[in-house]
Amino acid sequence: MRALAVLAVLVASGMGVAAADDGVIIDVTGAKRGKYPIAVPVAVGSDAAVAREIAEIQSFDLGVAGYFKILDPKSFLADLEGEKLGLEPQKWKDVGAYGVIKYRVVTSGGNLELEARLYEVSKGTTAVLTKTYTGTKADLRKLTHAWCNEVVKYYTGEAGFFGSKIAFVAKKKGASTVMAADFDGANPYAISRNTSTNMLPAWSPGGGQIAYTSYMRNNPDLYVSGGGGGRPKKLAGYKGMNTGASWSPDGSKLAVTLSKDGNPEIYVISASDGAIVTRITSNKAIDTSPAWSPDGGQIAFVSDREGSPQIFVASAGGGAARRVSFNGSYNTTPTWSPAKGASVIAYTTRDGGRYDIVTLDVATKKMTRITQGEGTNEEPSFSPNGRAIAFASTRSGGSGVYIANADGTGTAVKVYSGSVTGVDWGPAPRP
């Protein structure tokens, strides 16, 4: 069996192990999953600056994946010059590594070639995964993310989220601009180009479009732009609010908040022309912040119909809504986990004087804290595989966009600095 060689060390660390027949080593469902120690030494015999950047990207990616413990390079005992792309297993066993990544990068003019290998130390000198990538120097981050996605998939059977993008609103000097950036904060760019108030960006399922609300024509209208920016198209300009867009899984519709009849209610509109398809709520209370479930069958939203803002869930076809949040007196901004088989909602809660992020398993009622006691934390959004959550925070480490493990373990990592709101994590990168 494929995983028998590492069974003993994984069990000793509390790390779950799946059946070897499917090629999976790390059991991502393990309730007490430990972290897999992996070494990422800087490549030798390569452009030094490029090699260091690749090592930094790999260490960051695998570090935020939630499965790995990145070993300190200062502890390495191996002769890297002598090993080159190979491996002397005992030297890596001696520092506690279960996995080792080796790579070589060759640059020529504006082009580069990246050859990467993954070793399981217990399996000896033969790499268990080898990939070669070619592109321009501008593709360095993209190619490295692609390799790290392969590493995650090798160990877990799931696709990684490296190379995906995050949208958010950056607030500076009175302006609020819809921005997008790589999931790790690299390569930020503006989506909205006007100087009015812009808010609540939402990626389409394929990542080709972003919906957001803007006051550019003095009313909170709903616009759609390309995922790379460009001229926006006004999709919904009903009287009053046109806010909080959430795309249906097939991209044909959006759930939105409209107040065209005087009271904020949840509607479903067409993604092609903004025409109303279905009215979801009809209540004298304020209903807002819709979030479409990954299976397309439900819409979560916020309502104060029972006295304070709480999370409710209704059928995407309309009908009676049921309350699902019961902690604290103020719960807002729901978002569904896209993890296969999950029925989990993350939301902003205020139950101890501060705003924090929690997740709720709608089926089991289990609540997990993602943040606590670290400033103000709001507006969560799941990674494409549901294993991480991005959110806006004002903690002591500085305001910005942070990423945390969706199971509540580990420490959140800041990926973008600045005053931000309206975080939305886009779909998985295309292969």
Residue 107's pLDDT band, with cuts at 50, 70 and 90, is: very high
In the predicted model, is pLDDT for residue 11 greater than 80?
A: no
Helix (H, G, I), strand (E, B) or coil at 139: helix
Task: Quote the percentage of the chain above a pLDDT of 90.
Answer: 85
- pLDDT computed for residue 28 by the predictor: 64
Considering the domain architecture, whether residues 244 and 189 belong to the same structural domain is answered as yes
Per-residue pLDDT, 172: 86
Three-class DSSP category at 157: coil
* In the predicted structure, residue 13 carries a pLDDT above the cut 60: no
CATH number of the domain within which 120 lies: 3.40.50.10070
In the chain, the amino acid numbered 70 is: I
Q: First-to-last CA distance in the chain?
A: 29
pLDDT greater than 60 at residue 389: yes
Mean pLDDT of 121-130: 97
- Residue 171 and residue 58 in one domain: no
Is position 416 within any domain? yes
Give residue-wise pLDDT tens across range 39-54.
999 999 888 999 999 9
Residues 345-382 pLDDT 10s: 999 999 878 999 999 999 999 999 999 989 999 999 99
| Residues 151 and 251 both lie in one domain | no
> 338 and 407: one domain?
yes
Within-domain flag for 76: yes
Residue 129: inside a domain = yes
Strand 175-182 to strand 189-190: parallel, antiparallel, or no bridges (unpaired)? antiparallel
pLDDT greater than 90 at residue 225:
yes
CA atoms within 13 A on the CB side of 104: 11
Domain count, the chain: 2
Residue 83 and residue 177 in one domain: no
pLDDT at 89 over 60: yes
- Domain annotation covers residue 374: yes
Domain boundary, last residue among 130, 156, 182: 156
The predicted structure's pLDDT at residue 4: 27
The C-alpha atoms of residue 211 and residue 247 are separated, in whole angstroms, by 9
Residue 23 domain-assigned? yes
Q: What is the pLDDT of residue 395?
A: 94
* Residues 10, 102 within the same domain: yes
Within-domain flag for 430: no
Interstrand relation of 229-236 and 310-315 (parallel, antiparallel or unpaired): unpaired
431 lies in some domain: no
Q: Domain of 205?
A: 165-425
pLDDT, tens digit (0-9, with 9 covering 90-100), for 183-223? 999 999 999 999 899 999 999 999 999 999 999 999 999 99
Of the residues 128, 156, 184, the one at which a domain ends: 156
pLDDT beyond 70 at 10 = no
Specify whether 144 is located in the same domain as 184.
no
Same domain, yes or no, for 106 and 183?
no
Domain finish residue from 156, 188, 223: 156
User: What per-residue confidence (pLDDT) applies to 26?
Assistant: 75
CA 248 vs CA 219, 253, 268, 345: distances in Å: 24, 5, 9, 16
Percentage, residues of the chain above pLDDT 70:
92
Residues pairing with 253 in the sheet: 270
> Pairing state of beta strands 129-136 and 111-120?
antiparallel
- Binning pLDDT at 50, 70 and 90, where does residue 29 land? low
Give the CATH number for residue 191: 2.120.10.30
> What would the pLDDT profile of 258-305 be if each residue is shown by its tens digit?
999 999 999 999 999 999 999 999 999 999 999 999 999 999 999 999
Q: Are residues 98 and 27 in the same domain?
A: yes
Mean pLDDT, range 312-338, rounded to an integer = 95
Mark whether 256 and 396 lie in a shared domain. yes
Q: Do 75 and 95 form a contact (C-beta atoms < 8 A)?
A: yes
**Mean pLDDT for the stretch of residues 98-119:** 96
To 10 degrees, the CA torsion angle through 99, 101, 102, 103? 160
β-pair partners for 402: 391, 414
Instruction: Count CA atoms closer than 13 A to 311's CA, side-chain side.
Output: 29
What amino acid occupies position 204?
A: S
Query: Is the pLDDT assigned to residue 97 strictly greater than 90?
Result: yes
Structural domain includes residue 270:
yes
The β-bridge relationship of strands 36-39 and 68-70 is parallel
Cβ burial 343-365 (10 Å sphere, 16+ → b, else e): bbbbbbbbbeeebbbbbbebeee
Instruction: Compute the distance between CA of residue 12 and CA of residue 5 in angstroms, rounded to an integer.
Output: 13
pLDDT tens digits for range 129-166: 999 999 999 999 999 999 999 999 999 999 899 999 99
Same domain, 97 and 196: no
Shared-domain flag, residues 197 and 346? yes
